[in-house]
Amino acid sequence: MSSRGGGDGAANAGADEVLAPVLARHEWPARPLAGQPLGVDLLNTRWAAGGVDYDLFEHDELTAAWLVDRKLRQAAPLPAVRAHLREARDALAEVIAGRDARARLNAVLDHGRLRLALGEHGPVEHEEFDDPAAGAAWTCLRAYLRLSDAAPGRIRRCENPDCVLHFHDVSRSGDRRWCSMAVCGNRLKARRHSARVRGR
């Protein structure tokens, strides 16, 4: 049984178009699970592979490339944009882990507003920020709020305790447990199996 739901493949297409070659230039591995919805993708800017922790936001060039791929405007100097992204990412990870970090999350959201209008071709939404540096983080969190509203409980962290990746579970059964069956699912199953064998 596959734990991956339908639609992942399409969402993955070209997800890290600008970022991938920059990662390669830095001799970083390709980012796993690229192509998740924006609110989840913010969380997956850090990952672990081969015992090494990676964080896109530790690198100016990688952060800038990620912003381009996500179509997020860099409307202020990068360090300020990144500080808000980091805060949003940390707060969101806490919230998903079930810890009370809503005040932190809401502090980021407080930097932005939606102004609604009727345009020539229908309704339009304008995003407005009191601090342009917070725009990218705000947009990520807004995407998360929309997604969690449409699909409650479907945004989860991979069950492999060594893995920090998150995913939007689009499987019909809603019981996806791992970022990837191949990477984390099988590894954890193998570990549990050998623990059982040893315990006999």
Total of residues contacting Zn ion (CB under 5 A): 6
Choose between 140 and 165: whose C-beta lies nearer to Zn ion. 165
* Phi-psi group of 71: left, alpha or beta (phi > 0 → left; psi -120 to 50 → alpha; rest → beta): left
Choose between 50 and 119: whose C-beta lies nearer to Zn ion. 50
Q: Does 184 bind Zn ion (CB under 5 A)?
A: yes
- Selected range binding Zn ion among 49-57, 125-133, 168-176, 183-191, rule: CB under 5 A: 183-191
Distance in Å, CB of 93 to Zn ion, minimum: 14
What gap in Å lies between CA 115 and CA 128, rounded to an integer?
7
What gap in Å lies between CA 94 and CA 88, rounded to an integer?
10
Distance in Å, CB of 49 to Zn ion, minimum: 10
Which residues lie below 8 Å from residue 49, measured CB to CB, with a gap of 6+? 29, 32
Choose between 155 and 165: whose C-beta lies nearer to Zn ion. 165
Q: Under rule CB under 5 A, which residues in 48-67 are in contact with Zn ion?
A: none
Distance in Å, CB of 160 to Zn ion, minimum: 4
Please answer whether residues 75 and 84 qualify as being in contact, where contact means their C-beta atoms are separated by less than 8 angstroms.
no
Choose between 32 and 132: whose C-beta lies nearer to Zn ion. 32
Q: Under rule CB under 5 A, which residues in 136-165 are in contact with Zn ion?
A: 158, 160, 163, 165
What gap in Å lies between CA 86 and CA 138, rounded to an integer?
11
Q: Does 179 bind Zn ion (CB under 5 A)?
A: yes
* Phi-psi group of 51: left, alpha or beta (phi > 0 → left; psi -120 to 50 → alpha; rest → beta): left
Distance in Å, CB of 4 to Zn ion, minimum: 12
To which H or E segment does residue 168 belong? strand 166-168
Q: Does 3 bind Zn ion (CB under 5 A)?
A: no
What gap in Å lies between CA 52 and CA 197, rounded to an integer?
29
Choose between 72 and 184: whose C-beta lies nearer to Zn ion. 184
| Site of interaction with Zn ion (CB under 5 A) | 158, 160, 163, 165, 179, 184
